[in-house]
Structure 1
Amino acid sequence: MPIVFAPLKILDEVAGDLYSSAKTVASLTKDAFYRNLQLGFSKYIEGKYDRYSKVHTLLSPHKPIGVEDIYVHPRLDSSSKTVLGENSIDFVFDKKVVVVQAIAGHGKSMFLRDIFCRLCRINFNVIPIFIELRDVDFDKTNIIDVAFDEVSPQSSLFSKTTFEKLVRSGKVLFLLDGFDEIKTSQRTSALRKIDQLTRDFSAAKVVVTSRPTDIFNGWGPATIVKIRDYDLPQILDLVDRSPIEGEVKDAFRGKVENSYIKTHKKFLSNPLLCNMMILTFMRGGDIPKQKHIFYKKAFETLYRHHDDMKFLYKRDYHSDLPEDVFTRLWRTFCYFSYSERKFGFDADQMKYFIVRSANYLSIEVDAKAVASDFVESLCIIVKDGEQYSFLHRSFQEYGAALFICSERGVNVFASLDRFNENGNDDVLELSLMTNRELVEQDYILPKLEFVIKQVKRLRSVRKKMKLFYSALSLEKIEADGEFELYFTMPSRGSQSISHFAIFLRRNYRPMFDHGPYQKLRSWLRRLSREENANRKDISFRIDLDEIDEASAAETPIVDLVKSYLDAFASIRGEILERKKHQDQMLKV
């Protein structure tokens, strides 16, 4: 039975107003215009629903599964409350702009797909427009133009003026997926154009997904929410919905309840990593606790997945490459495509990166056969029509990290310093886990020398701090009554040191004194009380440019800068000591 798409009912309400703005169809009756409009939107909604209501997963790489069959609604944390995922649509309609943030694998795109599908099936009195931001060139266009281009081909009588009137009516919800997949050089422009959309069309609602980034801090209309880790009931629900055999499902479920929830909770609480655990478990392997080894085993599982499931079956690869050569080709492909921030490809781009990778390795390959292996045999790339994309970006990042740590001749410093600009990606971290000595000695050590010199050459405390952050803000978390301290990075082009400091804090946490953060929080809290003496809430921000040098020297900013320098010196000393020890052992 065909679906009756709910958004089409909205056209009944607005058809009259839209008809009056459609000057090019004056010779048509209102009924004829309405039928054309309904037919056009029907094709758009039907096409998008067909695409976004099904998804390929690690556990079902060849047969797409219904999103509503496998999706487990997460909890969303905002500064004011925790929202249950099934109530997310009501939460979105209550806000003007919602930014949904989460690390890799937490289901940001699935969250938007689920909202889109529910809006298609249930009448919420809104038309959803789903846009993948990685496909938008913000140097040349904007969201309204892209949205109109998506809809207009389906209705020959639908003008841009008519579309803009529809958006102004408040009947459109923009679902903008993957802000972090926009080219780094275009992100500031992209945010400016999304903000302009909310200004020009004040009734429009917008939802944006992204990995964690501070670019949204201070964006007035935005409510920022974070997808919370899955708890045990959600993990078990995810396992129960998995498209795997009942006996395997029951066995894995038992392992989760009896042991994995204690030993591997960090992996289980992330939907992508949980599915990778299931894959590894199906192959009968141990589940490693280190993330990079976990990815390694997951890749090996994908490479041999069907072989291990079928007695005496050895799968043929189209490219007929030896396993070690195929693996090198795959990680080279990941490196080159990631270097150009390409997460999706058409057929020509796919061929380009395969051929470029093969040329680097000085081998000859059939690019079409390799593409088929990536899609059909390895199952790490998904083909949708004529478009290709990674099953998940984290696999591309892992492959790029492997390339940097494994291939001779790679300029480790240049590669990692360039990737350091993508501060919310995992390439640096995975590289450090994969080959700690290489990354420490070829990247972290020289970068530390540079940063320490940059900080010490400045006399101004305020300017030293501005190397890392441009503003400080304080927000009250209503759920627990605590105050959270946020830092805003410098403007684009000046973020390298800031991203590097965050990377060090994550991976050398014991080296950092957290006392200055408490002092800074208390200081900002006092300033906040003074400024908001007659207000209950509680958002406070201070730009470093607004603090004069004499005042800055009397604030906890001094302590924070000093703690950074002390931590940098300690990390540098530890790396040098380890290198000295290794050199001595080699002499022996």
Structure 2
Amino acid sequence: MSTLLREQAERHRYVKTIISGSTPIELTDLYVNLSLKRDKKIIRDDDLFKLLDTERAILVHAAAGSGKSMLLRYLLLTANQHLEQRFPILIELRDLNSHPGKSFLEIIQECIAEYIDGFSRNQTDFALKSGRLLLILDGFDEIDYDRRREREREVNRLVERYPNLQVIVSSRPDEGNSKWQSFFAYEVQHLSKGQVRLLIDKVPYDEAPKKLFRSKLDTDLFETHGEFLRNPLLTIMMLVMLETFADVPAKIHLFYEYAFEALFQRHDVSKGGGFQRKRRVELALDDYKRLFAYFCATTYMRKLFRFSEGVALECLDQSLKSAQIKADKSGMMRDLVECTCMLVPDGLEFEFSHRSFQEYFFAYFIARIRPNEIPRVMPLLSERSSSDGIVPMVAEMNAEKFEEDWALPQLDLLCKRVVGIDSLLEPLTFINAMFGKNGMHILAMPNVSFECGTGEVFELDHVRVMLYHIYGIFNRIHARLPDESEMDAKVREKILDGRIGRDDPRFEPVRKAVVKSKAQILIKLGPSDNDWVRETQWGRFVAEEAKELVAARDMIRERVRQRQTGLAAILNLSE
């Protein structure tokens, strides 16, 4: 097993970044220790090893660019300092997309067999049972969206089947994180001012922009642009940007735009004397961005985040034809690797230097398509990109098109589903109208919370969740709700002592399973349950949701009206 640790460490010892391009950097030379938070407890990343003895299944979640993958690789590289009898195995979950028919057990066995010839299924089973393995699963959100629920169940079953197994999973935050009921969820915290300074000191870059960055950091940069300094990726992008632009934009899509332009125009710092790296494809900046946007749209829709050179050239060929741009695809491929550093080589394959660039340029692409295509494209994006930043960036890039052609019609549709329902008195009627038959269930969870529905997602819910995030509806509702766990704990207590459903056989499994911490009981609901459901977090949530939904619809309707009126006045058109 020592071979497993040694060879994995060698494989993941180096990383490539947007500033290093194809030049590898030792991860430990660049890495800045991160802080994580669960409830009110804040820990340092190294402390995860200590917690695994009591919290053997841990979910690490954070937004794009927060350093989740770097964190997990750091844990792998330092595991020998903390683990005595366990051996870590790092699995990049996006690789599962190439093996949809294989179980997690098979994937684990094959990963170990890469380092230990002939490692068998029986040996894998023994290693899992004996607690010899620490599974480090990187990028759950990179699994194909239509297979995530299935893979999530597999991981949960592994944790239940092997009580000595320890697991760390990383993912972006989304509505699905609540399903990891056996996992202790930790959120990666924003970088502090001191961590930002340390990262800039460590980054291998020209000293002049680093000096300018430190100067601005010592004045008011952290106060004025703290949102962009919250994670390592955006911090490094800001360093690149300050070499080319004097100011930092306030909107996230402009931040990515400026960062890309800085990479497009940047000088080769290793040469000095203002040498600008020669690009193989001589395109104007706008054509270069448009072509890369087509490439990002093509790869995203084909679920390609890592690909061979042949596949990349095929996508570039399609993009050149669609964008009606004449350029050499092989030269463009080299420029994306060597000049703008949008792609980085990884063995015989290539991947985006960071997934968020693919998402930004896909949003750039969507924001410029014909208005009549928006209603056809957006539902698919809402379903696929619940944890991506694509739809919110489209909303920011082209608010007029987004709201008039898609957001307002969708909010109208949601409002029509629940019109005339008193959500305060009849939360189940509201839930049934919004979610259909699927909503008429409630799941009694082991952490004394209740969750509406069977776990399956209805067609319009992806749209609902996306719009609620974009317009801050979830945040406003949760800010007004009492502590959810306390609410549901009181309801469960009433179920257990018979004040709710004393003679109702539906509640017997809940009472019998109270000693089983992992028991999840699905209860079918009916109109008579409105009285007690009103007291749960879902009942309170529904009452607030009804008000927020109508308010958001009315706000956007008024904005659309004002824009149309203003345009008519400018063009001297009759309304």
Question: TM-score, with normalisation over the residues of structure 2?
Answer: 0.84
| Aligned position for 1:193 | 154
Displacement of 1:144 after TM fit? 1.9
Unaligned runs of 5+ in 1: 1-6, 9-41, 477-482
Given residue 339 of structure 1, which amino acid in structure 2 is its aligned partner? M
Displacement of 1:184 after TM fit? 0.8
| Aligned position for 1:428 | 391
**Can you list the C-alpha shifts for 1:61-85, whole angstroms capped at 9, x where unaligned?**
2322111111112111113622211
Greater displacement, 572-581 / 124-133: 572-581
Greater displacement, 503-512 / 399-408: 503-512
Find the residue that maps to 1:175 and give its secondary structure. strand
| Aligned position for 2:323 | 361
Displacement of 1:365 after TM fit? 4.2
Given residue 134 of structure 1, which amino acid in structure 2 is its aligned partner? R
**Can you list the C-alpha shifts for 1:190-210, whole angstroms capped at 9, x where unaligned?**
011112222333322111110
- Partners in 2 of 1:544 and 1:57 — Cα distance? 49
Matches within 5 A, 1:56-95: 56-79=16-39, 81-95=41-55
Matches within 5 A, 1:138-537: 139-306=100-267, 310-311=272-273, 313-408=275-370, 411-421=373-383, 422-456=385-419, 461-465=427-431, 467=434, 491-494=455-458, 496-497=460-461, 499-509=462-472, 514=477, 517-518=480-481, 521=484, 523-524=487-488, 526-527=490-491, 530=494
1:587 matched to 2:571? The reply is yes
- Partners in 2 of 1:69 and 1:334 — Cα distance? 31
| Aligned position for 2:504 | none
Displacement of 1:432 after TM fit? 1.1
Find the residue that maps to 2:367 and give its secondary structure. helix
Given residue 52 of structure 2, which amino acid in structure 1 is its aligned partner? V
Given residue 494 of structure 1, which amino acid in structure 2 is its aligned partner? F
Given residue 382 of structure 1, which amino acid in structure 2 is its aligned partner? V
Q: 1:99 to 1:377 in 2, by over 3 A?
A: same
Given residue 20 of structure 2, which amino acid in structure 1 is its aligned partner? S
Displacement of 1:107 after TM fit? 0.8
**Can you list the C-alpha shifts for 1:215-236, whole angstroms capped at 9, x where unaligned?**
2424342111111111222222
Q: 1:435 to 1:525 in 2, by over 3 A?
A: same
- Partners in 2 of 1:164 and 1:475 — Cα distance? 27
Contact 1:119 1:128 (8 Å CA) reproduced: yes
Contact 1:217 1:488 (8 Å CA) reproduced: no
Find the residue that maps to 1:167 and give its secondary structure. helix
Find the residue that maps to 2:564 and give its secondary structure. helix
- Partners in 1 of 2:91 and 2:476 — Cα distance? 43
Matches within 5 A, 1:529-568: 530=494, 545-546=524-525, 548-549=527-528, 550-551=530-531, 552=533, 556=540, 559-568=543-552
- Partners in 1 of 2:410 and 2:467 — Cα distance? 11
Find the residue that maps to 2:58 and give its secondary structure. strand
Find the residue that maps to 2:187 and give its secondary structure. strand
| Aligned position for 1:576 | 560
Contact 1:75 1:85 (8 Å CA) reproduced: yes
Q: 1:454 to 1:349 in 2, by over 3 A?
A: farther
1:99 matched to 2:91? The reply is no
The number of residues matched between the two structures is 537
**Can you list the C-alpha shifts for 1:222-264, whole angstroms capped at 9, x where unaligned?**
1111111112222222222222244433331231132111101
Unaligned runs of 5+ in 2: 498-513
Given residue 73 of structure 1, which amino acid in structure 2 is its aligned partner? N
Find the residue that maps to 2:341 and give its secondary structure. coil
**Can you list the C-alpha shifts for 1:258-306, whole angstroms capped at 9, x where unaligned?**
2111101111121111111111112243111111111110010111122
Find the residue that maps to 1:306 and give its secondary structure. coil
Greater displacement, 285-294 / 82-91: 82-91
Q: 1:515 to 1:304 in 2, by over 3 A?
A: closer
Question: TM-score, with normalisation over the residues of structure 1?
Answer: 0.82
Find the residue that maps to 1:69 and give its secondary structure. helix
Displacement of 1:490 after TM fit? 6.7
